[in-house]
């Protein structure tokens, strides 16, 4: 107060020029302070590494949810500004669940983070790893001002763009089939099903024409195809036939599978249960058939056993036969020497091979697991501390954990042999443990390990775990540079910065309609029936990304039980 009073008295007694000088000095000081504050904020932002994330599917959202963005400048590029709970897409096709009940805005998901995430609604059209840039095309093609291509620079790139439908080059599929990858696909199918019934009840059609309109064909006996067939059957039996009684007996659902069984990724007990359930429900399951071509009126299939080609008329076709590579990923693979592959090859840390600062997660990537037999000599050398040419039990014990972590196939091999440790494989002809082993015995004991190497399935469960794992690696990147937590480097010495990604399978479900489902859970536990359907409800409700979507999904299930499904064409 004394200083301010003195300044006030001085200003009142001073001439005008002095007053302006005093004011300029004071205001200049505040401007300098403000400028210094802005400068510090700008410098702090520039110090942050730029992380660009492509895609907001399971992998991308899991990465964003778990990433500490206070340490990074995060930018997201995605053609959708929402995340969709894709396992419930078959339920959306028939109105069991509404489309908006399974989507959540990406901005809502990330707004609670300690920092700011920038999101652009655009497609990534090209990745330039040589210059650390991505080129993007906004989705607003009808607006010239908002459709100009732009590019982003990055320090780290996270590719989580997923995959596209695989047509296997079959003629007519793109033009005449529905797919089920996005929310928009489910909405189109829902309108298409209602259209088929509306067309079938029009006057002037013959019975054969009505049968054709009401013949629904599903190509692919995997989880998506089977669940859609079950949902469609329930929709027709419980709701549609009540309002279209005149064509009730003309409806037919056909499921075409190229293999010998449907749900062949599940336990054979579940496959058999599903086939018997569909047989009782009147769903025609055609196995051992390959689709040759599709037109707007019929689908041509080849019977593998006889080679005969038959034609089936259809009203609507769902194509659900697996996933293929997106063009932007194919282009990147050519640039990094991975041309001809089905997916981007990454190492066990999800780092794209040939790019130090590019990571790929989810359906667009595949982990190229390292073979233990390729490193067997280096492993033996690292274990043989005294360079005696043999390994003692104590020497092996020191690296057993590192071997199990670095090569996940070892654990699977031990389980298949019903043993607990690598040491249990090093036995003599009578089954007694050896005190010392040479490199030949060591190599012989582990020779079958690589036979347990398996590719991970393209599922939401895998993608979510990969995104979460990668975020945790980024969160402790600086710490692990000084204090690596990974297994030993058997070739070069030292330790890897992080532990490699290891997938944990928590089981899988197959809803089969009629309030029945099948489940395959860890521990070789298989369950099927109505109780499993209620387990499916509880698991899928708990896995929603927000309380809003959780409440909406449960509300939709309740509404369906009370009022049935809505058959309006909207």
pLDDT in tens, 168-194: 999 999 999 999 999 999 999 999 999
CATH 3.50.50.100 maps onto the chain at 47-163+325-369+455-504, 183-324+506-563
> Quick check: 95 and 565 in contact, CB under 8 A?
yes
Q: Is the pLDDT of residue 32 over 60?
A: no
Task: Give the three-state DSSP class for 5.
Answer: helix
State the pLDDT at residue 280: 96
pLDDT above 70 as % of the chain:
91
Query: For residue 289, which of 311, 266, 315 has the smallest C-alpha distance?
Result: 311
The CA distance from 253 to 315, in Å, is 10
pLDDT for 424 equals 80
Is 1's pLDDT higher than 70?
Answer: no
For the segment 524-537, the average pLDDT, to the nearest whole number, is 93
Return the pLDDT at 193. 97
Please say whether the beta carbons of 87 and 460 come within 8 A.
Answer: yes
Q: How confident is the model at residue 215 (pLDDT cuts 50, 70, 90)?
A: very high
Give the Cβ contact number of residue 136 at 10 Å: 22
Architecture of domain 372-451: Orthogonal Bundle (1.10)
pLDDT (tens digit per residue) in 382-418: 888 888 888 888 888 888 899 999 998 998 888 888 8
Whose CA is closest to 152, among 79, 75, 254, 65? 75
CB 405 within 8 A of CB 499: yes
User: How crowded is the C-beta side of 175, counted as CA atoms within 13 Å?
Assistant: 11
Dihedral angle sign, alpha carbons of residues 268, 272, 278, 282 = positive
Give the span between the Cα atoms of 151 and 35, in whole angstroms: 30
Contacts of 83 (CB under 8 A, 6+ apart): 56, 57, 61, 103, 104, 106, 109, 545
Q: Name the strand (E) or helix (H) holding 54.
A: strand 49-54
* Residue 193 dihedral angles phi and psi, to the nearest 5°: -65, -45
pLDDT score recorded for residue 45: 56
Cβ atoms within 10 Å of 326's Cβ, excluding its own: 19
Calculate the alpha carbon distances from 330 to 80, 167, 339, 364 in Å: 21, 16, 7, 10
Long-range contacts of 428-433 (CB under 8 A, 24+ apart): 433/393
Residue 529, by phi and psi: left (phi above 0), alpha (psi -120 to 50) or beta? left
pLDDT digits (tens, 9 = 90+) for 79-93: 999 999 999 999 999
| 79's tokens | 């053609």
Confidence of residue 35 (pLDDT cuts 50, 70, 90): low
CB 287 within 8 A of CB 221: yes
| Residue 107 · residue 122 · CB < 8 Å | no
233 vs 284: CA distance, rounded Å: 11
Fold (topology level) of 183-324+506-563: FAD/NAD(P)-binding domain (3.50.50)
Taking every pair of C-alpha atoms in the chain, what is the biggest distance, in angstroms?
111
Write down the CATH number for the domain with range 47-163+325-369+455-504: 3.50.50.100
pLDDT band at 224 (very low <50, low <70, confident <90, very high): very high
- Rounded Cα distance, 451 and 24, in Å: 79
Q: Kindly report the average pLDDT of the chain as a whole number.
A: 89
Instruction: Decide: 93 and 193 in contact? Cβ < 8 Å.
Output: yes
For residues 336-343, average pLDDT: 91
User: From residue 551, how far is each of 100, 425, 493 by CA, in Å?
Assistant: 12, 52, 52
pLDDT of res. 524: 81
565 close to 96: Cβ distance less than 8 angstroms = yes
Cα–Cα distance measured from residue 172 to residue 217, given in angstroms and rounded to the nearest whole number: 15
Domain with CATH 1.10.238 in the chain: 372-451
* pLDDT over 70 at 117, yes or no: yes
Three-class SS of residue 519?
strand
- Residue 332 reports pLDDT greater than 50: yes
pLDDT for 425 equals 82
* Strand positions, DSSP E, 67-176: 72-78, 82-84, 103-105, 117-128, 133-138, 150-153, 156-159, 164-165
Per-residue DSSP letters for 266-334?
S-HHHHHHHHHHHHHHT-EEEESEEEEEE-SSEEEEEETTT--EEEEE-SEEEE-S-EE--HHHHHHHH
pLDDT digits (tens, 9 = 90+) for 341-394: 989 999 999 999 999 899 999 999 999 999 999 999 999 988 888 888 888 888
Q: Tell me how many helices (H) and strands (E) the chain has.
A: 21, 25
pLDDT at 16: 43
pLDDT of residue 39: 57
């Amino acid at each position: 107060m004394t200083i301010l009073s003195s300044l006030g008295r001085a200003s009142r007694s001073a001439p005008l020029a002095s007053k302006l000088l005093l004011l300029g000095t004071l205001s200049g000081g505040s401007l300098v302070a403000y400028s210094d504050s802005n400068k510090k904020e700008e410098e702090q932002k520039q110090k942050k590494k730029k992380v660009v994330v492509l895609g907001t599917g399971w992998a991308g959202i899991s990465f964003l949810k778990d990433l500490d963005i206070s340490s990074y400048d995060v930018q997201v590029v995605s053609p959708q500004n929402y995340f969709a709970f894709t396992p419930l897409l078959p339920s959306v096709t028939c109105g069991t669940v509404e489309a908006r009940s399974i989507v959540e805005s990406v901005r809502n998901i990330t707004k609670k983070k300690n920092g700011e995430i920038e999101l652009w609604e655009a497609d990534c059209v090209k990745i330039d790893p040589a210059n650390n840039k991505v080129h993007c095309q906004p989705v607003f093609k009808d607006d010239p001002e908002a459709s100009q291509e732009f590019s982003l620079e990055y320090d780290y790139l996270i590719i989580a763009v997923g995959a596209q439908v695989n047509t296997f080059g079959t003629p007519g599929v793109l033009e005449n089939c529905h797919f089920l990858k996005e929310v928009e696909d489910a909405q189109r199918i829902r309108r298409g099903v209602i259209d088929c019934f509306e067309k079938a009840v029009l006057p002037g059609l013959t019975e054969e024409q009505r049968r054709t309109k009401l013949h629904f064909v599903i190509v692919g006996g995997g989880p998506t195809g089977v669940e859609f067939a079950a949902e469609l059957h329930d929709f027709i039996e419980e709701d549609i036939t009540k309002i279209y009684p005149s064509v009730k007996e003309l409806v037919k659902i056909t499921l075409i599978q190229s293999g010998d069984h449907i749900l062949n990724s599940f336990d054979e007990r579940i496959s058999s249960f599903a086939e018997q359930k569909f047989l009782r429900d009147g769903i025609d399951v055609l196995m051992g058939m390959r689709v040759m071509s599709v037109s707007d009126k019929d689908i041509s299939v080849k019977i593998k056993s006889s080679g005969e080609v038959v034609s089936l008329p259809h009203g609507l076709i769902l194509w659900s036969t697996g996933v293929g590579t997106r063009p932007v990923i194919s282009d990147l693979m050519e640039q990094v020497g991975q041309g001809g592959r089905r997916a981007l090859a990454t190492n066990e840390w999800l780092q794209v091979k040939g790019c130090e600062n590019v990571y790929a997660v989810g359906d667009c990537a595949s982990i190229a697991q390292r073979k233990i037999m390729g490193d067997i000599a280096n492993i033996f050398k690292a274990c043989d501390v005294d360079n005696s040419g043999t390994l003692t039990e104590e020497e092996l014990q020191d690296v057993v954990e590192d071997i199990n972590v670095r090569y996940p196939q070892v654990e699977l091999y031990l389980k298949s042999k019903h043993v607990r440790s690598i040491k249990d494989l090093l036995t003599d002809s009578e089954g007694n443990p050896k005190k010392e082993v040479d490199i030949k015995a060591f190599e012989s004991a582990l020779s079958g390990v690589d036979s347990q190497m398996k590719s991970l399935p393209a599922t939401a469960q895998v993608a979510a775990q990969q995104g979460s794992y990668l975020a945790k690696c980024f969160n402790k990147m600086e710490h692990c540079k000084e204090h690596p937590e990974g297994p030993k480097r058997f070739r070069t010495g030292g330790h890897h910065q992080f532990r490699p990604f290891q997938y944990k399978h928590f089981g899988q479900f197959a809803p089969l309609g009629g309030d029945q489902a099948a489940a395959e859970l860890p521990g070789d536990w298989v369950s099927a029936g109505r109780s499993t359907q209620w387990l499916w409800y509880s698991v899928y409700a708990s896995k929603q990304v927000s309380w809003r979507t959780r409440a909406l999904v449960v509300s939709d299930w309740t509404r369906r039980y009370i009022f049935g499904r809505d058959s309006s064409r909207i």
